[in-house]
Amino acid sequence: MANKLNRVIFTCGGTAGHINPAIALAQRIAKENPETEFLFVGAERGLEKDLVPKAGYAFETVHISSFHRSVKPQEIKHNLISGYNLLRAPGEAKAILRHFRPDVVIGTGGYASYPVVKAAAKAGIPTTVHESNMVPGLTTQLLEPHADRIMVGFEACRQHYKHPEKVIVTGTPVRGDFFALTRAEAKEKLGVADGRPLIVSFWGSLGASGMNRQMADFMALEAEKEPFHHIHAAGKSGYPVLQQLLREKNVQLEQHPALQLREYIYDMACVMRAADLVICRAGASTISELTALGVPALIVPSPYVTNNHQEKNARMLERAGGAVVLLEQDSSGQELFRAACGILHDSARQAEMETAMASLGIRDATERIYQTIQEICG
């Protein structure tokens, strides 16, 4: 019988990859325990302050911020503020715990997790941390000695922890609608079921402008023969720029129906399900979706992230055989196109990559995390 969870605190922030797994898990807990009260705790300026209330959950803040490795005057000022925040955040966290009295505190990443999970552990409240990247970030490293369990995305992550006995491989939650259709059904829905492979491409916000320029060269090469269907998300600022770049290359998109240029991919679940190859960065949410769906990937990890964790994520998929990795410094539209053709024109290789990627996938991650919470609360 499941333990009754009356009050649950999630603490997370910074990126959607930290926030969305927490929201998915809150929904799973509510399914089993409809009376459960939830409180999300994050930073006052983080993405969480918008995403969490939009999902319908109560939200409170602690004052916490990063430290920058620079001696520029504005960075020194930032670090002084961060130092002050570091001193007052523990008191704020304790006050939240006293007022809300949670049965469990769950951290899913971001600086805000640190004071809340640590304060809860010191108060004897069950705690767990979920780390979605291959290598633990600074917050997870600092919390490892205090948390009851560390939940990770892949078996290969275990080697990076000082307390492997605390580590549970749960995977990272992927929305259920990613599995609502078969690949054939998704292709039919998108109107790309004529037998040609579908490439799906998108970049994160960091460094996307340079990668969109490479994608202009890529799409110009595709336009010559249209060997693939291709859906590319350029982002709000990149969309008009990429349109102009294509016009300069004499590519009129209205004459090439197989090439779709979008600002955003709003129907990502359907599009990813239909994809035969994804060209992308290596954020934690993306690699969880790729592995859960078993989709081969051509990955250019962002070099602009802390601790180079995207390359570490990407290399794990590459070692397993599910991805080809190109560093941004070595990447170009021509190289990307050559690599994509090498995968999609070799059916045996494509099938091997699909199998390799799927072997890493954990589709029931939300359920595994829920059971881990039940265990530490028992």
Confidence (pLDDT) at 1: 52
Residue 1 lies in a domain: no
Pair 168, 188 in one domain: no
Domain with 140 in it: 7-174+363-377
3-state secondary structure the chain: CCCCCCEEEEECCCCHHHHHHHHHHHHHHHHHCCCCEEEEEEECCCCHHHHHHHCCCEEEEECCCCCCCCCCHHHHHHHHHHHHHHHHHHHHHHHHHHHHCCCEEEECCCCCHHHHHHHHHHCCCCEEEEECCCCCCHHHHHHCCCCCEEEECCHHHHHHCCCHHHEEECCCCCCHHHHCCCHHHHHHHHCCCCCCCEEEEECCCCCHHHHHHHHHHHHHHHHHHCCCEEEEECCCCHHHHHHHHHHHCCCCHHHCCCEEEECCCCCHHHHHHHCCEEEECCCHHHHHHHHHHCCCEEECCCCCCHHHHHHHHHHHHHHHCCEEECCHHHCCHHHHHHHHHHHHCCHHHHHHHHHHHHHHCCCCHHHHHHHHHHHHHC
Residue ranges of the chain with per-residue pLDDT less than 70? 1-2, 64-71, 73-88, 205-207
CA 377 to chain centroid, in Å, comes to: 27
The reply to whether 313 and 242 lie within a common domain is: yes
Q: Please write the tens of the pLDDT for every residue from 183-221.
A: 999 999 999 999 999 999 999 766 688 999 999 999 999
Q: 2 in a domain, yes or no?
A: no
Specify whether 182 is located in the same domain as 159: no
Residue 65 lies in a domain: yes
Which percentage of the chain shows pLDDT scores above 90? 78
Same-domain check for residues 33 and 170: yes
| CATH code of the domain containing 170 | 3.40.50.2000
The pLDDT, as a whole number, for residue 44 is: 78
pLDDT of residue 78: 46
* Residue 86: per-residue pLDDT: 57
Number of domains the chain contains: 2
Do residues 127 and 193 both lie within one domain? no
pLDDT at 269: 94
How far, in Å, are 52, 98, 244 from residue 56 at the CA level? 7, 23, 40
Sheet with 37-43: list strands edge to edge: 58-62, 37-43, 7-11, 104-107, 127-131, 149-152, 167-169
Residue 225 and residue 367 share a domain: no
* pLDDT at site 14: 78
* 166 and 189 assigned to the same domain: no
Check residue 111 and give its pLDDT.
Answer: 85
pLDDT for 156 equals: 92
Instruction: Answer yes or no: do 14 and 136 share one domain.
Output: yes
Dump pLDDT digits (tens) for 269-315: 999 999 999 999 999 889 999 999 999 999 999 998 878 999 999 99
pLDDT of residue 81: 47
Do 85 and 219 have their domain in common?
no
Residues 214 and 345 both lie in one domain? yes
Residue 112 sits in the same domain as residue 209: no
Residue 333 is assigned to a structural domain of this protein: yes
CB 203 within 8 A of CB 212: yes
**325 and 367 share one domain:** no
On whether residue 47 sits in a domain, the answer given is: yes
